Amino acid sequence: MANQVIPLYNQESENSKTDSGYLQISKVINQSQLPSVSAPLTYSPSQIKKKFTVQSDSEAQEGLKSFVHLAIILVAIQSGNFSVGYSLSYLSMSFTTLFSQITLKGSEIEEQGLFSAVLPIGQLVGAIVTKPLLKYTTRNQSLLIADFFGVLGILQVIPNREVILAFRFSYGLCLGISSIIMAIYVKEICPDKYYEAFSVLASFLIAGGLFFINFLGLGYLNPDLRGKNSYYWQIVFAIPALVHFLRSFIITFVYKMDSPDSLIQMNQSSQAKEILKKLYQPEFVDKIFLTCLKRVENYSEQQEGILSLFSKKHLKTLIIGSLLAFISTWCGLFALYSYCSQIFNVITNGDFTLNTLFILIIGIVQLIPAFISKFVYRKIGNRPLLLCGLFILILCQVLIIGLSYSETLAASITSFIIICFFSFTFALTLGPITYSMIPEINTSEGTYFCFVTLYVWQLFMLYIFPFMLDALQIGGVFIVFAILTFLSIIYFYFFVKETKGLSHNEIEKQYGKL
């Protein structure tokens, strides 16, 4: 079991509560030495009822020792999402100050592309190594490795071109590993009763990180803080390291937390029980432990391997997931967040004060949907929300294209208002749907593949966008974004199916997998 990979969570785990599944586990609950959960099931459903009655999840979830402590742990785990949001634009607004203090080895546009691209290169490498990493580490150990690279990223404050590139790559490694581990870690320790609330927290923290760095951008309004001798950019670059240090300190040293599932996977059943004792009242521990055992067993049974993704059974959902990853990057919002200062500089005709205020406002606009998205998803299914969101994005893109050919202040203000609506729509529809639909319709291996492609598209975008902006200007760039968005909405209209209220088996049938 030590070399077995637990795949990314998806709806497969909802099938874990079968009678036969609890049978073999219940037999060993009072034994001093628990066997491997991969042992075959040998009892009938009728026998299990005589051996042990497993308490329902809804009852077990009421056995939490402290919801407050659980919330602190889950927020700490997901604090890496704050770092993800922060990373989107902290470099963009610091380019001018940073480049005035280091020796460049190419044109400013070329260097912007390189400095921007090195972060997603690190994210891509981090995402790729996460799957084999999970063979040999628990969830918390993996997160510690990610946070080590994150804390190491503080060395970006050294004003040397090669040093900054190296440790920006280190920061990317942290984000790539952390992004995948957080989703698994939270799912495995968060009771189903609270999972929806804490899964929404991820998008809130990303938006919060983006807002915070945009707020810090107000400091650049002071000419002394953006001059050749400024130290302010170093403060901006150092903050993510503090976030990752605090995360590891809270989870590892204060709460000594880990995922029971991953501990069971590593044949550390007694340690898994100790974790559950920290979270649940004593009378609930054994019964929740059984659920963890069965979940790990189901994970191993349901793995099919990466090559199976390209079979007829999985190819359709894999394409949908990969296209979601592509268009969430190439509709224009990722470029907007990553190069906000450069884009608004064009729109405002070089007005630095207006540029800085625009960046702050866009951070606020991005944060608002996080407060209402939970209520929207309860009433509207993913398919209509996705199609409607993409249609509105296309309308915004067309308006931005039209206004880009006017250099008046009124046109600049109008363009910015449309960009705000564009950002709001993305944050309410395509952005969160990308992260929810991919694991919903794909296997765990498919989910992993789609998120790796997401980092590939982000890398490509960050590297070539400065060249696109220089060659095509805002209007030409958004023409490209609009065409890609239009093509994606056509594909989604014909191939994406509604899954609201459906069980995992029903979703599988929708896409012809059963």
Q: Which of the four pLDDT bands, split at 50, 70 and 90, describes residue 50?
A: very low
Query: What pLDDT is attached to residue 158?
Result: 94
What is the full DSSP assignment across 279-308?
Answer: HB-HHHHHHHHHHHHHHHHHHHHH---GGG
- The closest alpha carbon to 76, from 244, 192, 197, 259, belongs to 244
206/183 Cα distance (integer angstroms): 14
Torsion sign, CA atoms 499, 500, 505, 509: negative
What lies within 8 Å, CB to CB, of 388 at 6+ separation is 429
Please state at what angle helix 312-330 crosses helix 430-441, rounded to 10 degrees.
160
pLDDT number for residue 221: 84
Tell me, what's the pLDDT at 59?
47
pLDDT in tens, 167-189: 999 999 999 999 888 877 887 88
Averaged confidence pLDDT in the chain: 80
- Distance in angstroms (rounded) separating the CA atoms of residues 508 and 513: 5
Q: What domains can be seen in the chain, in order of their start residue? A: 64-258 (1.20.1250.20), 303-514 (1.20.1250.20)
Is the pLDDT score of 46 beyond 70? no
- What are the φ and ψ backbone dihedral angles of 503, each rounded to 5 degrees? -80, 175
What is the rounded CA–CA span in Å between residue 388 and residue 329?
18
Q: Residue 469 corresponds to which tokens in the numbers above?
A: 């902006």
pLDDT tens digits, 303-346: 556 666 677 777 888 999 999 999 999 998 888 877 777 778 77
What is the C-alpha to C-alpha distance for residues 125 and 146, in angstroms, rounded to an integer? 12
Interacting residues of 249 by C-beta distance below 8 A, sequence separation 6+: none
Estimate the crossing angle of helix 161-189 against helix 67-87, to 10 degrees. 150
Residues 345, 347: Cα–Cα separation, whole Å: 6
pLDDT at 202: 77
Distance CA 272, CA 293 (A): 10
**H/E stretch holding 440:** helix 430-441
Block residue for tokens 């968060």: 190
CB-facing half-sphere around the CA of 88: CA atoms within 13 A: 26
Name the residue with tokens 């902006």.
469
Torsional class of 245: left (φ above 0), alpha (ψ -120 to 50), beta (otherwise): alpha
Mean pLDDT, residues 143-156: 96
Interval 231-287: pLDDT, tens: 999 999 999 999 999 999 999 999 999 999 889 888 898 999 999 999 998 888 888
Q: From CA 217, how far away is CA 233, in angstroms rounded?
A: 10
The pLDDT of residue 378: 65
